[in-house]
Amino acid sequence: MNSSAFWTVCLNRFEQELSQQQFQTWIKTLRTEDAAHDNGTQRVRVIAPNRFVLQWVRERYLRRIEELGQEYFDTPVSITLTLPEAGSAPQPAVVVNKPAVAPTAPTAPEVATPVESPIVALQQPLPEAAAYDKTRLNADFTFDTLVTGRANDLARAAAMQVSQNPGVSYNPLFVYGGVGLGKTHLIHALGNEVLRRNPRAIVRYVHAEDYYADVVRAYQQKSFDVFKRYYRSLDLLLIDDIQFFNNKNRTQEEFFHAFNALTEAKKQIVITCDTYPKDIQGLEDRLISRFDWGLTVQIEPPELEMRVAILNKKAESERIRLSEDVAFLIAKNLRSNVRELEGALKKVLAFARFHGRDISLELAKEALKDLLGAYNRQISLDTIQKTVADYYKIKVADMYSKKRTRAIARPRQVAMWLAKELTPESYPAIGDAFGGRDHTTVLHAYRTISELRLGDHGLNHDLHVLTQVLRG
């Protein structure tokens, strides 16, 4: 069996499973070069055209390739992802079957000893890999993984436009919006897209805090020349959270000069901020006025449907199907930003995985309790008495009265049971709060209710509802 036939199968499967765009961008550019059978393990080497694709495929599709390999060879498969060797000519994205014959590169022994060579190949710091690292971009953040809705479609369209004609269409592109809405994702996507179209472009993502740290370092090391030369050598500068420049005068000055130099040379600048330019605190006017030269777009908080779509997309990338009611539950509970929305999904998935359970509405509710703080909420005895009295439509005063009719005694016992379950108060303290009763009365009430609830569905339901109301 050889890797070439396997790869053909693999491509066919991916073509069915992925969207056309995903398939074209990521899978079709891969090729296999060599396969060997070694101690019962099938080895396949997959070569990615560049570091960007390699990282992407490793994170997204490697597991699937392994699964397909296992299916095809009927034995565990070790897939090694590598970059083309330095010096070898870029090859077209076709399947190449070269059993034990060296590729064009001079390092022939690599193929002759397939057991070690892939590892060696991975460890070599390849120029392309280093170049991508230097951009500080996150390969996960692309236009593909960005969910679009009314809240961000203008911003997305503008970013797409800029990535197609950097330095020409809108310069600078100024993206603003509240915390955790996806500004960073959007500008990373822009950067990745520019690189995809032009792998030679010099792109740099920098958070305003890190830019400030660079200025400080240049100060200390008296290396402003190097600093200036570096930032002016960029084709695309993505600068995040510019509001962090407030009252940092030297940083603002340096940025002002870099800004002028870059725009003059028709190099693209993209800026994010948490507010509209005119509202930024502690920023020089001459800088703010320059932000108006290009295009200013806003990202708004996503509406419910978009939040659900975001959750589905995220789950899909984890190869999990989320039922509608679960997605809806999460989206309803976390409204204000995408970041925490994704945090909530992460929680639900981790919870399900840890407990080995399927993702159901019940499970999601349970998992989300941690996020919302259900267990440790300070609940006072007063609150319990009032809530229980309201629930059973009796007077709060009956909680501490001497009356012993069933209609009053039972709710009182329920309240005592809840006091024991939901507060750390001692039995004597609980007894005191219920009209100076003895702690043995509380203990008796607790036992009675604990026993009764086993056979009495109505009571059990009451206890559930009351617990939920009290925990909020």
Partner 1 sequence: MQQLILDIRPDTPKRFGNFVAGANAEVLARLEAATRADAVETLYLYGPPGSGRSHLLEATRRESQRPTLHLAGATAGDFDPAPGTLLLVDDVEQLDETAQIALFRAFNAARRDRLALVLAGREAPLRLPLREDLRTRVGSALVFEIKPLSDAEKAHTLLTQAQARGMRLEADLVDYLLRHGRRDLPSLLAVLDALDAASLERKRPPTLPLLREVMQGALPL
- Please give the residue ranges that form the binding site for partner 1 (CB under 8 A): 136, 138, 178-180, 207, 209-210, 241, 274, 337, 339-340, 342-343, 346-347, 350-351, 354-355, 369-376, 378, 424-429, 439, 443
> Judged by CB, which is closer to partner 1: 149, or 180?
180
Looking at beta carbons only, is 145 or 198 nearer to partner 1?
A: 145
Tell me the β-bridge partners of 204.
237
CA distance 201 to 193: 11
Rounded to whole angstroms, how far apart are CA atoms 147 and 15? Answer: 22
Minimal distance, residue 157 CB to partner 1, in Å: 26
- Nearest approach, Cβ of residue 337 and partner 1 (Å): 5
Question: Residue 46: in which H helix or E strand, if any?
Answer: strand 41-47
Cα 326 versus chain centre, distance: 18
Type of residue at 266: K
Residue 373 amino acid letter:
G
CA distances from 164 to 95, 193, 268 (A): 30, 8, 11
Residue with smaller CB distance to partner 1, 424 or 458: 424
Nearest to 103 by CA among 31, 13, 29: 31
**Cβ 322 vs Cβ 311: under 8 Å:** yes
Cα dist from 357 to 81, 327, 367, whole Å? 33, 17, 12
Which H/E stretch holds residue 410?
helix 406-422
CB-nearer residue toward partner 1: 266 or 346: 346
Residue 378 C-beta: closest distance to partner 1, Å? 8
Report the residue count for the chain: 472
**CB of 47 or CB of 381, closer to partner 1:** 381
Report in angstroms how near the CB of residue 129 gets to partner 1 at its nearest: 14
Residue 302's φ and ψ, nearest 5 degrees, are: -75, 145
Least distance (Å) between residue 91 CB and partner 1: 31
Give, in degrees to the nearest 5, the angle at Cα 28 between 23 and 32.
Answer: 135
User: Quick one: 36 or 352, whose CB is closer to partner 1?
Assistant: 352
Work out how close the CB of 73 gets to partner 1 at its nearest, in angstroms, rounded to a whole number.
30
Residue with tokens 């399900």: 352
CB of 123 to partner 1, least distance (A): 16
Which of residues 111 and 345 has its CB atom nearest to partner 1 in the complex?
345
User: Is the CB of 16 or the CB of 376 nearer to partner 1?
Assistant: 376
Q: How far is the CB of 89 from partner 1 (least distance, A)?
A: 32
Place of tokens 């008296």: 222
Closest CA to 2 of 60, 61, 44: 44
The least CB distance from residue 302 to partner 1, in Å, is 14
Asked if 212 contacts 168 with a C-beta cutoff of 8 angstroms, the reply is: no
Question: What is the spatial distance between Cα 260 and Cα 223, in angstroms, rounded to a whole number?
Answer: 20
Q: Which is nearer to partner 1, 167 or 178 (CB)?
A: 178
- Closest by CA position to 352, among listed 336, 368, 337, 341: 368
Token code pair at residue 396: 């709060």
CA dihedral 399, 402, 406, 412 (to 10 degrees): 20
Half-sphere exposure of 150 (CA within 13 A, CB side): 4
Shortest gap between Cβ of 229 and partner 1 (angstroms)?
23
Q: Compare residues 15 and 340 and give the one whose CB is closer to partner 1.
A: 340
Six-digit token pair at 189? 């996507």
Task: Tell me the two tokens of residue 382.
Answer: 């007063």
Residue whose CB is less far from partner 1, 30 or 306: 306
Least spacing, CB of residue 370 vs partner 1, in Å: 4
